[in-house]
Amino acid sequence: MKENKLTPGSNMMWEASRMMLPEHKELMNYYQKERNRKTKPELAEEEVNVISEQLSDSMLSKSEITIELFRAFGKNAFKTGTVAKFDTQLTQIKLDYDDEYEWIKFDEIVGVS
pLDDT tens digits, 69-85: 999 888 999 999 999 99
Considering the domain 45-112, what is its CATH architecture?
Roll (2.30)
Please compute the mean of the pLDDT values over residues 28-32 and round it to a whole number: 83
- Which region among 12-21, 60-69, 102-111 has the lowest average model confidence (pLDDT)? 12-21
Q: Where are the domains of the chain?
A: 45-112
R_g over Cα of the chain: 24
pTM over 0.75: no
pLDDT for residue 12:
59
- Which region among 2-6, 81-85, 95-99 has the lowest average model confidence (pLDDT)? 2-6
